[in-house]
Amino acid sequence: MAYDINDPTDLDIMRSNFDIISGKEWDNYILMAEEQSIGYKNINILKSASRKAGISKYLSPKVIVWVLDIVDKLEASDEEE
């Protein structure tokens, strides 16, 4: 899903979507990312995001968009398998 970081409604949706991801789910996403070798920076941002699980207010909108995009891609590739 494409988010507009300048739209307050999109920001609320993004933060909500980020905050509902549990620590266990983050661990699963990190494992999937490492298995798929999606890149050092992407894996590191997922690890960083996992430390902020449930507290999106400490992340910038750009980082949240980046992380949610990675999560969407990982879920899509998981569904294909």
pLDDT 10s digits, 22-32? 999 999 999 99
Q: How confident is the model at residue 2 (pLDDT cuts 50, 70, 90)?
A: confident
**What pLDDT, on a 0 to 100 scale, did the predictor assign at position 77?**
87
Closest listed residue to residue 27, CA positions, set 52, 54, 55, 46:
46
**What pLDDT, on a 0 to 100 scale, did the predictor assign at position 81?**
64
pTM of structure: 0.89
Domain locations along the chain: 8-80
Running DSSP on this structure, what letter comes out for residue 56?
G
